[in-house]
Amino acid sequence: MGCLEPHHRPSSAHREIGSTNRALLPWLLSQRHKHNKACCPLEGVRPSPQQTEYRNKCEFLVGVGVDGEDNTVGCRLSKYKSGTCAVAAPFDTVHIPGATKQVVRAFQEFIRSTPYSAYDPETYSGHWKQLTVRTSRRGQAMAIAYFHPQNLSPEELAGLKTSLAQYFMEGPGKASGVTCLYFVEEGQRKTPSQEGLPLEHVAGDRCIREDVLGLTFRISPHAFFQVNTAAAEVLYTLIQDWAQLDAGSTVLDVCCGTGTIGLALARVSPTAPAGRTPNTAPVVPLPICCATPPCTSPSFTAPGHPGWV
């Protein structure tokens, strides 16, 4: 019994595709032969125009710092199963924006002024757990504080939220630039995902806005958005070039998140049929993974897109 030459042996990806559509197998094997075992030609990496301070969403844990200081906000150095829960401050990192670091500093100062300690994943004691910061090139910043309520009363929790809001909206934390503030009561986590946790809006706007290729997107706390906006524009422009859309094209944006790819493609059609604004193509968003409450669906301002608001 013969066997395939090495460059004809199907990889796991080819086997998966072949099991779904066996008619594609001859084409896949031919492509692997042409492209050095790959199913398509591979081009070089397209660099992002912004390679430092680019990350527009950052998640920080709260714990005991490497210096022993409680309620340190930053990055955990290892898993607690490995023997340490120490947290290192993020202020010397190059990928985190200065605006985000300002929010971290302000939040750290606030929680250190409270009587509540950092949550300990070994003993399940303590309160402060995490800070998520989302920023935009418009200078807006969203802060989401995660807090284990333990046995605190509703009145104590309400007082804490009021103090947090006053600190960032009117007090010393105002200089950090937070425009959108949320509070999450998170007990012992039962699943890895945090998207099912109830978010309580405590101050400021409910969303932040970001601009991508002439479109403005409203981003809610759990909405998916590329973490490097400038790199996303490079990617979407490349997709536009390769897609070669015209007025008769229909874009299916599967798992569209905030809809950035589909709407970016919809703007490049050179002509348009009667009744449709020029330079647009029809988009069918399929939000299998989408923004979550309080902004129950992503929204955006797209010049020339009637009906998309």
Q: Which residues are annotated as a binding site?
A: 226
Distance of CA 240 to the CA centre of its chain: 22
Provide the token pair at 11.
């990889």
The DSSP secondary structure of 38-63, one letter per residue, reads -SS--PPP---S--SS--SEEEEEEE
Annotated binding site for S-adenosyl-L-methionine: 226
Cα–Cα distance, 25 to 154 (Å, whole number): 62
Q: Which candidate, 227, 197, 231, places its Cα nearest to that of 213?
A: 231
Give the up-direction half-sphere exposure of residue 45: CA atoms within 13 A in the CB hemisphere: 4
Rg (CA), the chain: 24
Give me the sheet containing 208-212, strands edge to edge.
Answer: 208-212, 215-219, 299-301
How many Cβ atoms are within 10 Å of 76's Cβ, its own excluded? 16
The DSSP bridge partners found for residue 131 are 60, 145
The DSSP bridge partners found for residue 300 are 217
Alpha-carbon separation of residue 226 from 182, 191, 256, 286 (angstroms) = 21, 24, 12, 18
Residue position matching structure tokens 């604004």: 277
